[in-house]
């Protein structure tokens, strides 16, 4: 399988070769398809998939074919290699596709964690195969330490090891802990996957809003709104 993600985030191009098959969980994201009409087969979701994805239909694509997946603005997609004995638990909302032959099962989270995060289950995939992971911004991998905790914004954590010690927390002094979002505190070994899109709305506003001098000049100068951007 070949995946091409162009620099402007917005879509990915996927090409299947030889006897490859791919399960796409967001069928409506396929905006262009090239190949035999019989190479696409839509199926009903099973009960578990219907509950987790809130989707009725999934699509099985069979090689040879190629297609384009459209992505929401500001999102990116990355293909993650999953080994045979992977112990990563994924947020199923981030999974767009997976290669045929992969197995997955649900892992029920502790009630305390589920209550705060509104997340009842995570999904463990077994490879070998590839997962298409959609994220806000890019995906970064960080290694856990059994003694030094890693703190991650709760809304940014895409996947973590099943055997990791994890709890909801905050860190820093009292002012820091009062002003930050809830964090996952994780100890263990192995990688975690994090989506890197900024959660600081104030930062986004600061970077995109105009300064007061520009606003005044647009108002007072002739054609100011045309020449001053």
Do 164 and 144 touch, CB atoms closer than 8 A?
yes
Could you give phi then psi for residue 17, rounded to 5 degrees?
Answer: -125, 160
Percent of the chain with pLDDT over 90: 43
- Distances from the Cα of 7 to the Cα of 43, 75, 102, 103, angstroms: 33, 12, 29, 32
Nearest-angstrom CA–CA distance, 23 and 137: 23
Tell me what the mean pLDDT of segment 181-194 comes to: 92
pLDDT per position as a tens digit, 50-71: 445 556 688 999 999 999 999 9
Distance CA 15, CA 219 (A): 52
**129 has a pLDDT exceeding 90:** yes
Closest CA to 180 of 157, 199, 160, 167: 199
pLDDT at res. 48: 54
Map tokens 């090239």 to a residue. Answer: 34
Torsion angle, alpha carbons of 173, 176, 182, 186, to 10: -50
DSSP-derived letter for residue 153 is E
Instruction: Inform me whether the pLDDT recorded for 141 exceeds 80.
Output: yes
46 or 224: which carries more pLDDT confidence?
A: 46
pTM, to two decimals: 0.78
Answer with the residue of higher pLDDT: 84 or 224: 84
Q: 25-39, 91-105, 112-126, 155-169 — which is least confidently predicted?
A: 112-126
Which residue has better confidence, 200 or 109? 109
Query: Given a cut of 70, is residue 145 above it in pLDDT?
Result: yes
Residue 128: pLDDT band with limits 50, 70, 90? very high
Supply 197's token pair.
């899109």
- Separation of CA 143 from chain center: 18
Look at residue 222 in the predicted model and tell me its pLDDT.
59
CA 42 to chain centroid, in Å, comes to: 23
Q: What is the pLDDT of residue 67?
A: 96
Weakest-pLDDT range from 20-34, 98-112, 113-127:
113-127
In sequence order, the 6+-apart residues with CB closer than 8 A to the CB of 94 are 133, 134, 135, 158, 159, 195
Residue 13 pLDDT grade (very low, low, confident, very high; cuts 50, 70, 90): very high
């Amino acid at each position: 399988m070949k995946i091409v993600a162009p620099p402007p985030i917005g879509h990915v191009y996927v090409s299947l070769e030889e006897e490859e098959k791919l399960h796409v969980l967001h069928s409506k994201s396929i905006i262009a398809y090239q190949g035999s009409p019989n190479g696409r087969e839509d199926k009903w979701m099973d009960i578990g998939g219907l509950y987790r994805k809130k989707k009725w239909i999934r699509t099985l694509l069979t090689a040879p074919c190629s297609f384009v997946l459209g992505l929401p603005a500001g999102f990116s997609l990355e293909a993650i290699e999953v080994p045979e004995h992977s112990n990563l638990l994924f947020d199923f909302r981030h999974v767009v596709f997976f290669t045929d032959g992969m197995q997955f099962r649900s892992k029920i989270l502790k009630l305390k964690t589920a209550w705060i995060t509104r997340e009842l289950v995570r999904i463990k995939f077994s490879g070998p195969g590839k997962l298409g992971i959609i994220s806000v911004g890019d995906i970064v991998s960080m290694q856990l330490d059994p003694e030094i905790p890693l703190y991650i914004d709760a809304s940014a954590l895409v996947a973590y090891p099943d055997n990791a010690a994890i709890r909801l927390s905050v860190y820093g002094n009292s002012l820091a802990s009062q002003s930050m979002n809830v964090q996952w505190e994780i100890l263990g070994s192995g990688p975690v996957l994090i989506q890197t899109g900024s959660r600081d709305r104030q930062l986004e506003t600061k970077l995109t809003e105009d300064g007061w001098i520009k606003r005044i000049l647009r108002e007072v100068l002739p054609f100011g709104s045309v020449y001053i951007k």
